[in-house]
A and B are shown apart, each in its own frame.
Chain A
Amino acid sequence: MCTTCGCGIGQTLIAGHALKQPRRSGKAMHYRAHAEGAAHVHPQAYEHGAMDFGAGAAGSHAPGMTQARMVKIERDILAKNNDYADENRRRLSAHGIFALNLVSSPGSGKTTLLVKTIAALNGAQPLAVIEGDQQTDNDAARIRAAGATALQINTGKGCHLDALMVGQAMQRLDLPDDSLLLIENVGNLVCPASFDLGEAHKVVILSVTEGEDKPLKYPDMFRAADLMLLNKCDLLPYLDFDVDLAIEYARRINPSLQVIRISAASGEGMPEWLDWIAAGCRNATVSKQQIAEAEALLE
């Protein structure tokens, strides 16, 4: 963004100020500051935000004027991921599997919460876990030690799971009908918000050792989630964390967000969380039967 008049496109701010990088579109981008005393100029194609469709070789935006031609595409950038996610969702609902995509910042206690959830379900509910981390299979090992099937996806440099990864993991897991699939996304409150995996719900975990204003700082994730688990509530007596304020902020972003106060350590809120899961599993089974009946009618 231009720091003189505010035109341009970048949204990154440093201490409230835009990056000083007016740049001509189409050239490789270099992250460096202006040379001392460099003149303030607008890239010509972006004179105060205007888009010049006539700047091409032919001087117009009409197809067929030069060797170059225009191709209309109108395709969503995430369309491919969304196609894979739809396919995952079809497979999950055909088998009555209730899938949750657990998202949070690193260190919110996702894995501990999963371990406790598995222990509480105590084999009564068939389930599997897909673990997403950049490196190591430590988390999958923790889940396996808790007695559940787990598959680790290492994203390498990637910052989120995508629907193709999850689809392939689902094939390898060979999930039984009417089971619960818990997908622990990479610890990151930003990127996983954009990538539908085919889950029934995103569940965002916010721990009380973080700030109350995290929902305002990372709104996309709280907007994408249907349930917020406010975790580590056993630590509240030792902290200044304002629970009501945190919930108020989260509901500003997403008024229909459900909230459960929970503690993996003390067990507080676990019955409510388990009831929520059980209701989801029942619904998934009912939908599976409805799909099967509808298909039988069509045949």
Chain B
Amino acid sequence: MHEMSLAESVLQIIEDTARKQGYRRVRTVWLEIGQLACVEQESLRFCFDAVTRGSIADQARLEIVETAGQGRCAKCTLEMPVVALYEACPNCGSYEIRVTGGDEMRVKELEVE
């Protein structure tokens, strides 16, 4: 359940930004989560609801923008979508696939008042 730590980190980022920007209420939080990121989105939602209770983000809507996994084969340089880390290159069969995208976890944007 490291999603609890991640949810706490999200809240910390929101509160840090609130101190700088002077907003008092967060209505919506947009996260960008890659398909290959080590996070289970439903757990993250559950934990987000739990950790934001009583905070400036209480009852805030959590919107998750999912980004697709992307990789590049180190052998034949093919660019490909990556769904699972154990897949072989569809062109040459190599497992040497570097993940080039879709492993990010970011707080993108907030709707505040």
Contact = CB atoms under 8 A, between A and B. Distances in A.
B108 A74 contact: yes
B100 interface: no
Contact of B12 (A74, A80, A158): A80
B107 A75 contact: yes
A160 B5 contact: yes
Contacts of A171: none
Given A25-B62, A190-B2, A73 B108 contact: yes
Contacts of A193: 38
A181 B46 CA distance: 36
B17 A194 contact: no
B contact patch SS: mixed
Interface stretch (A9-17, A108-116, A146-154, A226-234): A9-17
Interface string A187-201: 000110111000000
Interface residues of A, number: 48
A182 interface: no
A239 interface: no
Given A25-B45, A251-B95, A255-B95, A194 B2 contact: yes
Nearest to A58: B111
B46 A29 contact: yes
A70 interface: yes
Contact of B42 (A21, A67, A191): A21
Contacts of B6: 77-78, 194
A9 B35 CA distance: 10
A195 B28 CA distance: 26
Interface of A: 9-12, 19, 21, 25-26, 28-29, 31, 45, 51, 56, 67-81, 158-160, 162, 190-191, 193-195, 215-216, 219-220, 223, 249, 251-253, 255
